[in-house]
């Protein structure tokens, strides 16, 4: 299944709320397998006055947060419709192994690709990359648990 999702649909699926949503669009999704998401980096974003005043750099911790959000979307889109109605799911990041290879700055368009290593009903392992203009700028392996 390949389907694009736009911001309002993403906003409805994520537990995070403004100003903490870091996915603008889902370009492709293959439930329980792979997701490709996009984030446009704007110089007007809230973190840049402090990170850093002289040279705006998108924080590494927010790159990991965007990857985690893409992973949540991958898990939620893959759920059966009856499962989606279940309230009170909390996605807990339990382990992160990451590597940052270059910076992300205003004007960049970041493509996050997350692939399932293992997926269970209440946990998952994801391998992810963040790319700008075809170049990998960050890599991460995430493990998360789902508390109901």
Q: Which residues form the catalytic set? A: 51
Side-chain-side CA neighbours of residue 46 (13 Å): 6
Report whether 67 contacts 126 (CB < 8 A): yes
Q: Burial, 6: exposed, middle or buried (Cβ in 10 Å; 0-12, 13-18, 19+)?
A: exposed
Q: What is the CA radius of gyration of the chain?
A: 15
C-alpha to C-alpha distance for 134 and 57, rounded to whole angstroms: 19
129: which strand partners?
Answer: 113, 139
Report whether 62 contacts 22 (CB < 8 A): yes
Report whether 111 contacts 67 (CB < 8 A): no
């Amino acid at each position: 299944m390949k389907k694009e999702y736009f911001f309002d649909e993403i906003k409805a699926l994520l537990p995070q709320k403004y100003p903490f949503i870091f996915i603008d669009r889902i370009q492709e999704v293959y439930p329980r397998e792979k997701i490709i998401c996009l984030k446009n980096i704007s110089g007007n974003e809230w973190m840049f006055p402090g990170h850093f005043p002289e040279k705006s750099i998108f924080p590494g911790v927010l790159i990991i947060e965007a990857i985690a959000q893409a992973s949540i979307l991958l898990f939620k889109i893959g759920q059966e419709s009856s499962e989606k109605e279940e309230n009170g799911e909390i996605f807990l990041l339990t382990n992160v192994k990451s590597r940052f290879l270059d910076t992300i700055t205003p004007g960049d368009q970041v493509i996050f690709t997350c692939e399932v290593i293992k997926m269970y009903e209440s946990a998952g392992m994801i391998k992810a990359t963040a790319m700008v203009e075809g170049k990998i700028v960050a890599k991460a392996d995430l493990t998360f648990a789902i508390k109901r």
